[in-house]
C-alpha cells in the first residue's frame, strides 16, 4: 500500500487508503465524489448508470464493499459503497462537464503525479538498500578470502617443526634424568624435545624391560 502521506496540500476529495486498488494505490469514495460534483440525482442511480454507460469493470476500475448504515427511523440498511480508481474518478469528473467536474479532474491529475513521484522514490530507496546488502555480502566474501590467504601464508612461512631423530645419546640422557627423579615435563624442557617424544622414549624403555 502506498504511504498515506501522499496527498495534495488542499485535498478536494480524500484519498481512501483502507480500500486500495489492485496496484496498491488509494481509491476515491464514489459517494464523496458524487456529493462534490453536485450531480443533482440520487447516488445509487447515478453510479450504476455511469458504470453501465461507460463500461467500467468491477475489480478493475472500482471495488465494492457492503455495510449497514443507520437510517432516519433509527434502523439499519445495507448499502453498497464504491471505491474508484483515480482513472475512473477522473473520467467521471470529466463527463459531468461542469466547473466542479473540471476542478475534481485537475485534482486527480495532481494526485496521480504525486503518487508516481512517491512510487519512483520508494523504488529507488528499495534498490539502494539492495545495493548496500550486495556490497556488504561482497565485502564479507573478500574478508573471508583475505583471512584464508593470511592463514595459508602463515602456515607457509612457519611450517611445523620436523620431529628430530631419537638418538642413543638422547635416550641415555632421558633415562638418566628420569632415574634422578625428574618429571617428564622437566626432561622435555632440559632436552628441548616435545613431551610426547619423552613419553615415547620412556614407554619403549618400560616395554623393553618386560
pLDDT in tens, 164-207: 788 889 999 999 998 999 999 899 889 888 888 889 899 888 88
> Does 95 or 155 have the greater pLDDT score?
95
Residue 22: pLDDT band by 50, 70, 90 thresholds? Answer: low
Q: What is the pLDDT of residues 25-40, one digit of tens each?
A: 788 899 999 999 988 8
In the sheet with 27-29, reading across from the earlier edge strand, the strands are 15-16, 27-29, 76-84, 62-70
Residue 140: pLDDT band by 50, 70, 90 thresholds? Answer: confident
Instruction: At 8, list the grid cell.
Output: 495534495
Instruction: At 148, list the grid cell.
Output: 584464508
Q: What mean pLDDT, rounded, does the chain reach?
A: 80
pLDDT, average across residues 31-56:
92
pLDDT the model gives residue 34: 92
pLDDT the model gives residue 82: 94
Topology (CATH) of 168-209: Arc Repressor Mutant, subunit A (1.10.10)
Element (H, E) at 157: helix 99-157
Report CA-CA distances (Å) from 37 to 41, 61, 155. Answer: 11, 19, 83
Residue 128: pLDDT band by 50, 70, 90 thresholds? Answer: low
Domain boundaries, given as residue ranges, for the chain? 15-117, 168-209
Amino acid at each position: 500500500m502506498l504511504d498515506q502521506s501522499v496527498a495534495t496540500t488542499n485535498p478536494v476529495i480524500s484519498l481512501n487508503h483502507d480500500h486500495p486498488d489492485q496496484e496498491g494505490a488509494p481509491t476515491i469514495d464514489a459517494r464523496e465524489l458524487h456529493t462534490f460534483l453536485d450531480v443533482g440525482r440520487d447516488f445509487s442511480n447515478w453510479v450504476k448508470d455511469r458504470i453501465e454507460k461507460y463500461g467500467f469493470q468491477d475489480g478493475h476500475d472500482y471495488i465494492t464493499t457492503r455495510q449497514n448504515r443507520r437510517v432516519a427511523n433509527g434502523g439499519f440498511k445495507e448499502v453498497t459503497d464504491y471505491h474508484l480508481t483515480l482513472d475512473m474518478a477522473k473520467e467521471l469528473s470529466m463527463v459531468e462537464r461542469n466547473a466542479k467536474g473540471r476542478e475534481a479532474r485537475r485534482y486527480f491529475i495532481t494526485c496521480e503525479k504525486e503518487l508516481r513521484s512517491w512510487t519512483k522514490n520508494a523504488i529507488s530507496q528499495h534498490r539502494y538498500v539492495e545495493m548496500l546488502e550486495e556490497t556488504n555480502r561482497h565485502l564479507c566474501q573478500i574478508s573471508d578470502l583475505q583471512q584464508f590467504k593470511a592463514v595459508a601464508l602463515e602456515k607457509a612461512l612457519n611450517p611445523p617443526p620436523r620431529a628430530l631423530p631419537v638418538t642413543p645419546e638422547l635416550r641415555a640422557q632421558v633415562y638418566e634424568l628420569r632415574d634422578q627423579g625428574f618429571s617428564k615435563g622437566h626432561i622435555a624442557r632440559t632436552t628441548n624435545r616435545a613431551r610426547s617424544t619423552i613419553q615415547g622414549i620412556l614407554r619403549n624403555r618400560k616395554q623393553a624391560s618386560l
